[in-house]
Amino acid sequence: MNTTPLGKKEIYSFAFAGLGQNLIYNFSATFIMIFYTDVLGLAAISVGTLMLIARVWDAVNDPMMGIIVDKTKTKWGKLRPYLLGVAIPMAVFTILTFINVNLSTQAKLVYAYLTYIGWGMVYTVSDVPYWGLSSAMSDNPKERLTIMTLARIMSNVGLAIAIVVPPIALGLLQNHPQRYAIVATSISVLGAALFLLAFFNTRERVERPASVSKLKDFLLLKENKPLLQLQSSRMLGAFRMILGAAGTYFAKYNLNNEGLFSLLGATLILSMIFAMILTPFLRKFFSKKALYQGGLIIQAFAHLALFMIGYNQLALVLLLMFVVGFSMGLNDVIMYIMVNDSIDFLQRKTSKRLEGMVFSLHTFTTKLQTAIGLFFMGVVLNVFGFIENVAQTEASMLGIFLLLTILPAISSLLSLIPMIKYQEEKELLPQ
């Protein structure tokens, strides 16, 4: 076990890098769908298909990135060099994705495919080594809990900024044809600058030899039962990951006030951060499995309650969004601790430490579950007759409301199934 304690500068630099990365990721994840439909004028079903195809390609490039990372050996380590090289490209592709191009509808769709798939590939280069670094910084369980708790808190501060601030900025730039690109530029420059902190101010303490094998190492992941159970749970929870994107439509069309999205988003994120702060305390009394499953159950009941009471009383909507956010924040920290545990488990079982490959599967799941959610979100909008930038019918407003209530409730309950037989690391590994 590593005995050199981590300094505060290193821990906070890693955390603020997560803030920067999540500024960029969550701005894109939250606003890309409504940008494509309401600004570029693309059909919702076409956009959903784009999201799904992009993630199918990720099925190839995410494992490739994991293999590349685990074969890397430099004076800076095997993870940190990628953080230095990817920051600027990540910002550039985010800006390109949100440019309101003056092209035919078909050409706009082609442009969307090129820029969005490019963005996804660049994001993979940032995400796999960044979260892998959390395992390489320390092998002390208490330090890892500190690292991941603070990192997830700051990541969700980034999420909060990415959800709350853009609607205000977009409102101020309401008549500007490139308002999304302007906001994307501000978000991307700040996010990239913060992300670089993880390169300059951290160190890879857990030294392992770089892998010399190729694809066969990736196949070792099938031996990582805890990781596969967790990722299966996350895949079944796809509709839990589109609350931001669905919320943009809900505020604009159901509540008739785009500005309310900032309030809804702020409530959700503040409760997530509150839950993350409480997580280390709750860990003293509950297992990781119990906290993870409890969060899913709480979230399911909150979504069902929202469907039953409707959205005529904003105060109740905000209250239930707070409960949803609390459950998601709880799950968020625990999930990343479980991923780190699975790296240790795989090493004990196979004698190989594959941070890159493990986190490549994790980041692939993150993007795929979002893509599946957005694809079916496009399907739901299409089935219920959604038409952009006009007053919606009762049917289309019901469809939008289902995206925030029944569908994520079902998704939360389905996520429980793979975790029924999940075993904590203390049941799998010698202590």
| CATH number, position 83 | 1.20.1250.20
Cβ(151)–Cβ(15) under 8 Å? yes
- Look-up of token digits 């809804």: 264
* Residue 241 confidence (pLDDT): 79
Residue 286 has pLDDT above 60, yes or no: yes
Residue 270 Cα to chain centre, angstroms? 16
HSE-up (13 A, CA, CB side) for residue 369? 24
Q: Is residue 417 part of a domain?
A: yes
How many CB atoms are located within 10 Å of the residue 68 CB?
17
Residue 92 has pLDDT above 90, yes or no: yes
CA distances to 204, 232, 358, 397 from 138, rounded to whole Å, are 8, 27, 17, 49
* Residue 427 confidence (pLDDT): 46
Give the contacts of 37 (CB within 8 A, at least 6 positions apart): 43, 44, 47, 388
Kindly indicate the confidence band of residue 431, based on its pLDDT and cuts at 50, 70 and 90: very low
Q: Is residue 322 part of a domain?
A: yes
* Rounded Cα distance, 107 and 95, in Å: 18
* Rounded Cα distance, 171 and 174, in Å: 5
* Residue 342 confidence (pLDDT): 84
Helices and strands (DSSP H and E) totals, the chain: 17, 0
- Sign of the CA dihedral running 22, 210, 368, 33: positive
- Residue 159 sits at the vertex; the CA angle it makes with 158 and 161, to the nearest 5 degrees, is 65
Nearest to 21 by CA among 141, 180, 199: 199
Radius of gyration of the chain (CA): 21
* Rounded Cα distance, 333 and 277, in Å: 10
Q: Is residue 140 part of a domain?
A: yes
Cβ(369)–Cβ(238) under 8 Å? yes
Amino acid sitting at position 80? R
Q: Is residue 22 part of a domain?
A: yes
* Rounded Cα distance, 382 and 369, in Å: 20
Q: Is residue 2 part of a domain?
A: no
Cβ(261)–Cβ(247) under 8 Å? yes
- Residue 271 sits at the vertex; the CA angle it makes with 374 and 265, to the nearest 5 degrees, is 45
Per-residue pLDDT, averaged over 257-284, amounts to 85
- Look-up of token digits 């007759």: 385
Residue 252 has pLDDT above 50, yes or no: yes
* Rounded Cα distance, 269 and 266, in Å: 5
* Residue 35 confidence (pLDDT): 94
Q: Is residue 286 part of a domain?
A: yes
Per-residue pLDDT, averaged over 8-25, amounts to 90
Residue 282 tokens, joined: 């709750």
* Residue 59 confidence (pLDDT): 63
Cβ(262)–Cβ(162) under 8 Å? no
Q: Is residue 411 part of a domain?
A: yes
Contacts 24+ apart (CB under 8 A), 350-355: 350/220, 350/223, 352/211, 352/217, 352/220, 353/206, 353/208, 354/66, 354/70, 354/211, 354/217, 354/220, 354/221, 355/69, 355/70, 355/79, 355/132, 355/133, 355/135, 355/136
Q: Which domain holds residue 376?
A: 8-428
Residue ranges in 196-242 assigned as alpha helix (H): 197-200, 215-219, 225-236
Q: Which of 360-374, 384-398, 404-418 has the lowest mean pLDDT?
A: 360-374
Burial class (CB in 10 A: 0-12, 13-18, 19+), 213: middle
- Look-up of token digits 């997830």: 152
Read off the DSSP letter of residue 286: S
* Residue 294 confidence (pLDDT): 92
Number of domains in the chain: 1
Q: Which of 68-77, 147-156, 204-213, 300-309 has the lowest mean pLDDT?
A: 204-213
Per-residue pLDDT, averaged over 267-271, amounts to 86
Q: Is residue 216 part of a domain?
A: yes
Percentage of the chain lying above the pLDDT 70 cut: 93
* Rounded Cα distance, 38 and 66, in Å: 36
Residue 91 has pLDDT above 90, yes or no: yes
Residue 31 tokens, joined: 């606003």
Residue 304 tokens, joined: 């069902």
How many CB atoms are located within 10 Å of the residue 52 CB?
16
Helix (H) or strand (E) holding 101: none
